[in-house]
A and B are shown apart, each in its own frame.
Chain A
């Protein structure tokens, strides 16, 4: 099974500052079609997960444009250009290969 490893597991960010979360996969998620099969989700406190980024770098409908995804193969990054108070929660990467696997989650809090 694919293992997804996120870092850091927690981060505290001042509003208006950028933030970055790394996700490493134990196997390449780059498909022969050129797409990277990794998604990013945010689970806000007390809520269900919501899709932020799919296929590595495509922003989901409704996701603010301050969120961006990058990377290829086994190394992926979620970036928030300017953190806002509403961004608090736990961020998960997920391999979207034939079977899915979530990373451990990264908890973001506001300073």
Chain B
């Protein structure tokens, strides 16, 4: 069974740092692009960024809104993706989802976690 479980969320003060984890199982983690997406309360989805598989260099891309403050990394030996969030702002409040995706010329596999809530407030 495929599982992605986000953890590390909670209440955090503005300006502080927080690291989220996405612990995965049931698929070949190292072959997947790992993406983070967030959703502010009552709002739509916002793409944060992703990290490519090592096959494609393990490089990262970020949304302009978080570039320089957030960073994504992966530990393929543990099947975990991380989202390091620095200098947090109140507008970073929301549910943070991780997504794993693998695409070939013939199919795409796409998996999501249930999300973890981050509340940035003093």
Contacts and interface: CB of A to CB of B under 8 A. Distances in A.
B47 A99 contact: yes
A105 B110 CA distance: 19
Contact of A100 (B47, B107, B108): B47
Nearest to B110: A51
B45 A43 contact: yes
What 6 A-B pairs are tightest by C-beta distance, nearest first? A48-B112, A51-B110, A100-B47, A105-B44, A102-B45, A54-B108
Nearest to B106: A58
Given A48-B114, A98-B61, A61 B109 contact: yes
Given A54-B108, A99-B63, A48 B45 contact: no
Given A99-B61, A99-B63, A49 B44 contact: no
A49 B45 contact: yes
Interface residues of B, number: 22
A101 interface: yes
A55 B114 CA distance: 24
A23 interface: no
B103 interface: yes
Contacts of B45: 41, 43, 49, 92, 94, 102, 105
A41 B99 CA distance: 12
Contacts of A49: 37, 45, 97, 99, 112
Interface string B80-122: 0000000000000000010100010001111011110000000
Contacts of A105: 44-45
A90 to B, nearest CB: 7
